[in-house]
Amino acid sequence: MKVLVATEKPFSKVAVDQIREIVEKGGHELATLEKYTDVQQLYAAVADADALIVRSDKVTKEVIAAAPKLKIVVRAGAGYDNLDLAACTERGIVAMNTPGQNSNAVAELAIGMMIYISRNQFTPGTGSELKGKTLGIQAYGNVGRLVAAHAKSFGMKIMAFDPFVPAERIQSEGVEVAASLEDLYAKSDFVSLHIPATNETKNSIGYALLSKMPKGGCLVNTARKEVINEPELVKVLEERQDLKYITDIAATNQAELNEKFGKRVFATPKKMGAETAEANINAGVAAANQICDFFATGNRKFQVNK
Ligand code: 3PG
């Protein structure tokens, strides 16, 4: 079988080498398309692919249509909002993700972002410490849980809100459970987002929640830009001169945010949460193993289009 790694934002070489080793050991062939600049290159590359590994690359219905032999696509990472699941299902293509594999990298970045914004983006002036502050974790999945664990060592008080995780499990990890999402925002000096981009979550973080934050509150986004209601973010930042926003996924209106709010906002130049050698290897190797296992035994454990 031909396995294609198509990554506009490539894995590290060491990760690709390990992916190749696993794929070839499984009796398959590896092809790579890295740093492509035009979707036409992706269409051409998938033409003879039986399996596809991507990162945030968009696997649209057009990509699926251009890949007549495709049997499995694995998003090497957690969020699979970049895969057209309906198009995959219609063609009988198995879609998977690799949950947990890059979580620590993202969690460490969330902590780093809190420090960066609290220390005036590393420019002169008096900043503040994380110790003693309350951190609200919105969604207590693989990343949220690690952010909570890391933040505890800074002496932060941790709260979480996640309607899909039993309260007892969250509490058993020394994390307080917020009564509601509104309660989380009202009590948290920092809110760290770890929700996926779905029809329910898109545009869901806006004025109503952010205006509840205590004085000096900061929203930390290492999740997806789509979950933010950007016009409402502007409105609340205009009204509340004390609030801050730091994100790993530049807003569509980031230039406007930067111009209007200066040091109160920050966006990384390109999403870098999972950009560590370790996360590249973990997610890439998991994707390669999942594909080989699927072809060898039919294992669909991480299928997301069931
Ligand atoms: C994920 O969903 O796993 C992260 O957002 C990482 O995305 P990336 O592979 O594009 O860096």
Q: Which is nearest to 250 in space by CA: 270, 231, 235, 230?
A: 270
CA of 185 to the centre of ligand 1 (A): 25
Name the 3-class secondary structure at 208.
helix
Closest ligand 1 atom to 249 CA: 5
pLDDT digits (tens, 9 = 90+) for 74-107: 999 999 999 999 999 999 999 999 999 999 999 9
Whether the Cβ atoms of residue 76 and residue 291 lie closer than 8 Å to each other: no
Tell me, in angstroms, the distance from the centre of ligand 1 to residue 102's CA: 8
Q: Tell me, what's the pLDDT at 11?
A: 97
Sequence length of the chain is 306
Model-wide pTM > 0.85: yes
Positions of the chain with pLDDT lower than 70, given as ranges = none
Q: Locate 248 and state its tokens.
A: 């790993």
Residue 86: predicted pLDDT: 98
Three-state SS string over 248-277 comes to CCCCCCHHHHHHHHHHHEEECCCCCCCCCH
Nearest CA to ligand 1 atom 11: 274
Question: How far apart are the two ends of the chain, measured CA to CA in Å?
Answer: 23
- Grouping H, G, I as helix, E, B as strand and the rest as coil, residue 90 is helix
Protein residue closest via CA to atom 5 of ligand 1: 79
* Ligand 1 neighbours by CB, cut-off 6 Å: 9, 55-56, 77-79, 102, 271, 273-274
pLDDT of residue 139: 98
| C-alpha triplet 46, 101, 150: angle, nearest 5° | 145
HSE-CB at 303 with a 13 A cutoff on CA atoms is 15
The span from the CA of 139 to the CA of 28, in Å, is 38
* 3-state SS class at 153: coil
Minimal-distance CA residue to ligand 1 atom 2: 79
Q: Residue 197 in contact with residue 249, Cβ under 8 Å? A: no
Nearest residue by C-alpha to atom 6 in ligand 1: 274
- Indicate the helix (H) or strand (E) that contains 3: strand 2-7
> Tell me: the pLDDT tens digits for 133-187?
999 999 999 999 999 999 999 999 999 999 999 999 999 999 999 999 999 999 9
Q: Give me the pLDDT at residue 43, please.
A: 98
Instruction: Give the residue, out of 55, 224, 248, with the most ligand 1 atoms within 8 A of its beta carbon, to mutate for a pocket test.
Output: 55
Per-residue model confidence (pLDDT) at position 233: 98
Residue 186 alpha carbon to ligand 1 centre in Å:
29
Distance 126 CA to ligand 1 centre (A): 33
The reported pLDDT for the residue numbered 304 is 98
User: What was the pLDDT predicted at 4?
Assistant: 99
What does the pLDDT read at residue 125?
95
